Chain A
């Protein structure tokens, strides 16, 4: 029998529907793979063996009866940020110790409604703050990829590092993830997987632990573009529980995948050429341009003049919103509590013990920029710059550009415990330089694996689309995937 964990999500779904194998079989195959790999990769925080088998059995009954949903019986991993009733949901943090939600996030409700099976909860940077998955209370996630001839453990990117590592290492057929500044696309690029951050408002944020509410969006990480389209179709949709979710029909994204790029205008922004960027990133970008041109796209040089201000503006807006959102962790309602002499003392001791260093640092920055006397100088100015960033995009879209092609990250995956990044938070933040503009403008962006660096590590390209035009991203992403024709399977060492 073929290794069921090596199938794409779409092939898994199709095989289940055709009764080539059962959901219990494929679920058990994944549970076995997780058991063997997780001590080395640390992608899962909890493995829900019994629940997964129960869900698989229920799916098999539906498949036999011929009334399965669009993901019936397909085993998925869920980022620890999504509330799942009665199962571990701690956003990778110590402060939510023991928290077991009494409710289910809308996105996971949608996935279970379409028949998906939950394997467990995936590791992540604490409260989704990080670009290397090293800030998790549950320890770093390891990238299944290693440089050729190198034994060095690499980061999978972050914050959805567990999701990316698990999908790449065949520990789930697809995974949920979230993206506030690049947390879906950067780890996807680091692991040779596909990650889409949909348009702000496309997916409900209800039941997803909040980091920066005006930037957070959920999306899938999968092994193929087609899988990405399939999974997003299930996750997306209007939800009256999230007042920023948009009441708009969800297209069948998978139907757009093979549409091609003939006649589409693809913008190439000159501001994404960075000083000191490795040549191989530039070469890959040029290659991507040629692939799209060869399939009939019109290539147009464009300018997004405020690009360089997106990251600094983000490091005001995101910490400001996080300091507000994280106020709820006070040792009273849920999670950790450290006793103190007074209520304020209890708050301060609980939050000092419960939050890791990166979360504390961002909470402090956010508190500072929102404090009396600084609000206009920092927060209001950053929100004005954000308007300018969005207008840059609006201008090029109005000039006939259908999508924009950029590199996904300024480098391939780096080593765990990189000293320079540990010593300088700004250096770590620069990982998101190409992705963060998309969150600031609320646009959809997809990262597609498209090449490898000299050490054989995956590199990704990013496509940025118009609001609610994820379909064009899937179509163009598929052209990149098909043109690259590279097998992005890591060599199994775990």
Chain B
């Protein structure tokens, strides 16, 4: 499983990170080095082993489905680069 230039571009898009063409090969090299390093895990026998979901035995805490925090629209958009009437503003998505 080796990462080529095409895969770097695809992963860059999936990760929503613009990868400059001049950087594609460098990224491919770095990603392959890391994937080569983690490939050692292939030698571990994991048959019948449960994948870890929590480091500690704990049950998922539940609470009543009711509003416990709210009414902070102004504070929520306070750090937005662009907002109007307490809405986040983004480039047009639907024509």
Residues of chain A at the chain B interface (Cβ within 8 Å): 98-100, 102, 199-201, 214, 240, 243-244, 246, 306, 308-309, 312-313, 315-316, 323, 327, 330-337, 339-349, 351-352, 355, 360-361, 363-368, 371, 374, 377-378, 380-388, 390, 424-426, 429, 440-442, 467
Q: Give the most central of B11, B19, B35, B55: most A CB within 10 Å.
A: B55
Asked if residues A348 and B17 are in contact (CB atoms below 8 Å), the reply is: yes
Alpha-carbon distance A374/B38, docked complex (angstroms): 13
Q: How many angstroms between the C-alpha atoms of A308 and B40 in the bound complex?
A: 9
Chain B interface residue count, Cβ-Cβ cutoff 8 angstroms: 53
Q: Contact at A364–B11, with CB atoms within 8 Å?
A: yes
Residues of A within 8 A of B49 (CB): 384-385, 387-388
Whether A425 contacts B33 in the complex (CB less than 8 A), given A98-B79, A201-B56, A336-B81, comes out as yes
Instruction: Give which listed residue, B35, B60, B76, B90, contacts A243 with CB less than 8 A.
Output: B60
CB distance from A494 to the nearest CB of B (A): 35
The CA of A382 and the CA of B35, in the complex, are separated in Å by 12
Q: Is the CB–CB distance between A246 and B30 below 8 Å? A: no
Shortest Cβ distance from residue A480 to the other chain B in the assembled complex, whole angstroms: 26
Give chain A residues whose Cβ lies under 8 Å from the Cβ of B37.
Answer: 312, 315, 426, 429
What are 25 sample pairs from A and B whose C-beta atoms fall under 8 A apart? A98-B79, A199-B56, A200-B55, A244-B54, A312-B41, A315-B34, A316-B41, A331-B81, A334-B80, A341-B91, A342-B91, A343-B90, A343-B93, A346-B90, A348-B16, A348-B18, A351-B15, A361-B34, A364-B15, A367-B14, A368-B3, A384-B50, A384-B52, A390-B55, A426-B33
Q: Which residues of chain B are within 8 angstroms of A374 by Cβ–Cβ distance?
A: 1
Q: Which of A214, A313, A367 sits near B55, CB closer than 8 Å?
A: A214
Contact at A364–B33, with CB atoms within 8 Å? no
What A residues does B14 contact at CB under 8 A? Answer: 367, 371
Q: Check A371 against B11 for contact (C-beta < 8 Å).
A: yes
A-side contacts of B51, CB under 8 Å: 380, 383-384, 386-387
Per-residue contact bits, chain B 35-49, to A (CB 8 Å; 1 contact, 0 not): 101111110101001
Q: Which of B53-95 contact A (CB under 8 A)?
A: 53-56, 58, 60-61, 63, 72, 75-76, 78-82, 88, 90-93
Contact A368 B11 (CB under 8 A): yes
When C-beta atoms are compared, the residue in chain A nearest to B82 turns out to be A337
Nearest-neighbour CB distance to chain B for A228, whole angstroms, equals: 22
A335 to B3, CA, bound (A): 32
Nearest-CB distance from A103 to chain B (Å)?
A: 8
Contact partners of B3 in chain A: CB under 8 A: 368
**Contact: A384 with B60, CB < 8 Å?**
no
With known contacts A308-B40, A368-B11, A390–B52 Cβ distance under 8 A: yes
Q: Which residues of B contact A (CB under 8 A)?
A: 1, 3, 7-8, 11-20, 27, 30-31, 33-35, 37-42, 44, 46, 49-56, 58, 60-61, 63, 72, 75-76, 78-82, 88, 90-93
- Rounded to whole Å, the gap between the CB of A84 and the closest CB of chain B is 14
CB distance from A251 to the nearest CB of B (A): 18
Q: Is there an interface contact between B90 and A332, defined as CB atoms closer than 8 Å?
A: yes
Number of A-B contacts (CB under 8 A): 164
**Does the CB pair B80–A361 fall under 8 Å?**
no
Decide if B61 touches A323 in the complex (CB within 8 Å): no
Interface SS of chain B: loop
| Chain A residues, CB < 8 A from B18 | 348-349, 351-352
Which residues of B sit under 8 angstroms from A355, Cβ to Cβ? Answer: 17
- A366 / chain B contacts, CB cutoff of 8 Å: 15
Residues of chain B within 8 A of A368, CB atoms compared: 3, 7, 11, 31, 35
Closest to A440 in B: B55
A366-B40 Cα distance, complex, nearest whole Å: 17
A64 CB to closest chain B CB (Å) equals 35
Q: How far is the CA of A201 from the CA of B52 in the complex (A)?
A: 16
Whether B46 pairs with A384 at a CB distance below 8 angstroms is yes
New contact pairs (17) apart from A348-B18, A371-B11, A426-B33, CB-CB < 8 Å: A100-B78, A102-B75, A332-B88, A333-B79, A333-B88, A342-B91, A344-B16, A361-B34, A363-B17, A365-B31, A374-B1, A384-B52, A386-B52, A387-B52, A388-B44, A426-B37, A442-B55
Cα distance A381–B41 in the bound complex, in angstroms: 8
Minimum distance in angstroms from A471 CB to a CB of chain B = 18
| Leading 5 A-B pairs by shortest Cβ distance | A442-B55, A383-B51, A334-B79, A337-B81, A352-B18
Among A336, A349, A382, find the residue whose CB has the most chain B CB atoms closer than 10 A: A382
**Known contacts A312-B38, A442-B56: does B12 contact A364 (CB below 8 Å)?**
yes
Find out whether the CB atom of A361 lies under 8 angstroms from the CB atom of B81.
no
Chain A contacts for B8, CB-based, 8 A = 364
B11 touches A100 (CB 8 A): no
Contact between chains at A352 and B33 (CB < 8 Å) = no
Question: Across the interface, do A246 and B79 meet the contact criterion of CB distance under 8 Å?
Answer: no
